[in-house]
Amino acid sequence: MSAPLLRVDDLRVHFPVGGGLLRRARRFVRAVDGVSFAVARGTTFGIVGESGSGKTTTALAVMRLLRPTGGRILLGDTDLGASEGEALRRERRRFQMVFQDPFASLNPRKRAGDTVREALELMTPDDPADRESRVAELFAQVGLRPEQRMLFPHQFSGGQRQRIVLARALAARPELVVCDEPVSALDVAIQAQILNLMQRLQREHGLTYLFISHDLGVVRHLCTHVAVMYLGVIVEMAPRDALFAQPLHPYTTALWSAAPSFDPKARGRGRRIRLQGDPPSPIDLPSGCRFAGRCPAAEPACAQAEPPLREVAPGHFVRCRRVEVVDGQAQPVLG
Ligand SMILES: Nc1ncnc2c1ncn2[C@@H]1O[C@H](COP(=O)(O)OP(=O)(O)O)[C@@H](O)[C@H]1O
Ligand SMILES: [Mg+2]
């Protein structure tokens, strides 16, 4: 990989819970518990996983919307973790975020055009000259009509509201756009339109996306690389095609099985994997592999020590001691 635009190194976000009572020891939700990945410029890095696996917390930490407990976040050469105040505000221009619910991220009392203009003002406070034409240009780029600048958020559909959010994000001329379930709240027919728009904007503006979703179809469509999260850690990470053609981790296999159109086994031979039980609490994590309690392939040693994320094929990483490499080929545990 050429020098990555974003590098996340051993990121940890632990939330204190309960406590307050002096006699009780403080406990922590280990929402993100040692996550590392790198995203090359112009690519789309997907993070998938069940609800509660730590995807949103990872995104918020990358955006510096919450303070990491540990680890490093590098945007180009800049250490975002070390940036504060004015320096952080300057860096903020370089990354923008798109949330699941565009209604919640827009001011209901502000006209769409004003929302986008204010984003321009924040970014270029001393260049008011061609601001109005920039707003019109951004509206055109996201497929909104110029006269819609006068409307309020409630006068738009959900898909159109996400277009406003994208126009506001683009106003900053960002390098990285962090998208947290950007189409999950939209009708399926509208989802495709917004995803196509995002792909076009990526090409036209050379954007890099960190794309979070629980929808495997969306991730396969859009992402060049994918990480699978489970209880605060990455359990598997690979280029998209490798991961969808041959998931190696039992958890990834189970996720794919739950979505038959993505399951290589469902299309041919073999049994489907059904997950048993619920994930353990992220407060009292088991020692050893976090997935062992639900894993159909677990053996006693899996509960002893947490396995490392290791590279078993070029660019293909897996956190499972049961994955073997035979004659240079990684063997899925549940074949
Ligand atoms: N502010 C918070 N305080 C305490 N726990 C939190 C907080 N935010 C998230 N969590 C917990 O952290 C874990 C990961 O949450 P989240 O990052 O939202 O997961 P995802 O986006 O994958 O559904 C969950 O167990 C969640 O309950
Ligand atoms: Mg989330």
Residues 291-303 pLDDT 10s: 999 999 999 999 9
CB 190 within 8 A of CB 159: yes
How far are the Cα atoms of 53, 66, 70, 255, 313 from residue 9, in angstroms, in the given order?
Answer: 18, 16, 9, 26, 21
Least-confidence region, from 53-57, 131-135, 203-207: 131-135
Q: Which CATH number belongs to the domain containing residue 180 in this structure?
A: 3.40.50.300
- The helix/strand/coil state of 31 is strand
Percentage of residues of the chain with pLDDT beyond 70: 92
Residue 122: per-residue pLDDT = 82
Percentage of residues of the chain with pLDDT beyond 90: 70
Domain-terminating residue out of 162, 197, 230: 230
Q: Which ligand is nearest to the Cα of residue 11, counting in written order?
A: 1
Query: How many DSSP H helices and E strands does the chain contain?
Result: 9, 14
Close Cβ partners of 10 (under 8 Å, ≥ 6 residues apart): 34, 35, 36, 70, 71, 72
Q: Are residues 213 and 79 in the same domain?
A: yes
Using the mean position of ligand 2's atoms as its centre, give its distance from the Cα of residue 87 in Å. 28
Pair type for strands 95-98 and 176-180: parallel
- Tell me if 159 is assigned to some domain: yes
Mean pLDDT (the chain, rounded): 90
Q: Are residues 82 and 192 in the same domain?
A: yes
**Does residue 273 surpass a pLDDT of 50?**
yes
Q: Are residues 161 and 85 in the same domain?
A: no
Determine the residue of 48, 57, 184 to mutate for testing ligand 1's pocket, defined as the one with the most ligand atoms within 8 A of the Cβ atom: 57
- The helix/strand/coil state of 311 is strand
Residue 269: per-residue pLDDT = 47
CB neighbour burial string for 71-88, b if at least 16 within 10 angstroms, e if fewer: bebbbbeeebbebeeeee
Q: Are residues 195 and 52 in the same domain?
A: yes
Distance spanning both ends of the chain, measured CA to CA: 30
The residue ranking higher by pLDDT, 295 or 23, is 295
Q: What domain range includes position 308?
A: 251-335
Which atom of ligand 1 lies at the shortest distance from residue 58's CA? Answer: 17
Residue 270: per-residue pLDDT = 53
- Tell me if 100 is assigned to some domain: no
**Does residue 222 surpass a pLDDT of 50?**
yes
- Tell me if 244 is assigned to some domain: no
Q: Which ligand is nearest to the Cα of residue 182, counting in written order?
A: 2
**Does residue 96 surpass a pLDDT of 80?**
yes
- Tell me if 235 is assigned to some domain: no
Using the mean position of ligand 1's atoms as its centre, give its distance from the Cα of residue 105 in Å. 19
Residue 267: per-residue pLDDT = 55
Q: Are residues 285 and 166 in the same domain?
A: no
Query: What mean pLDDT do residues 194-213 have?
Result: 97
Domain-terminating residue out of 124, 142, 172: 172
Q: Are residues 195 and 79 in the same domain?
A: yes
Query: What mean pLDDT do residues 245-264 have?
Result: 85
Q: Are residues 57 and 185 in the same domain?
A: yes
The residue ranking higher by pLDDT, 276 or 70, is 70
Query: What mean pLDDT do residues 100-110 have?
Result: 90
- Tell me if 284 is assigned to some domain: yes
Q: Are residues 113 and 197 in the same domain?
A: no
Query: What mean pLDDT do residues 134-163 have?
Result: 96
Query: What mean pLDDT do residues 121-133 have?
Result: 78
Give the distance between the most distant pair of CA atoms in the chain: 68
Q: Are residues 61 and 183 in the same domain?
A: yes
Domain-terminating residue out of 124, 152, 172: 172
- Tell me if 242 is assigned to some domain: no
Which atom of ligand 1 lies at the shortest distance from residue 53's CA? Answer: 22
**Does residue 21 surpass a pLDDT of 70?**
no
- Tell me if 246 is assigned to some domain: no
DSSP for 159-203, please give it. Answer: HHHHHHHHHHHHHT--SEEEEESTTTTS-HHHHHHHHHHHHHHHH
Phi and psi at 132, nearest 5°, equal -60, -40
Q: Are residues 123 and 267 in the same domain?
A: no
Among protein residues, the one with the nearest Cα to ligand 1's atom 16 is 54
Q: Are residues 9 and 153 in the same domain?
A: no
- Tell me if 103 is assigned to some domain: no
Query: What lines the ligand 1 site, CB under 6 Å?
Result: 15, 17, 29, 31, 49, 51-57, 282
Q: Are residues 205 and 268 in the same domain?
A: no
- Number of folded domains in the chain? 3
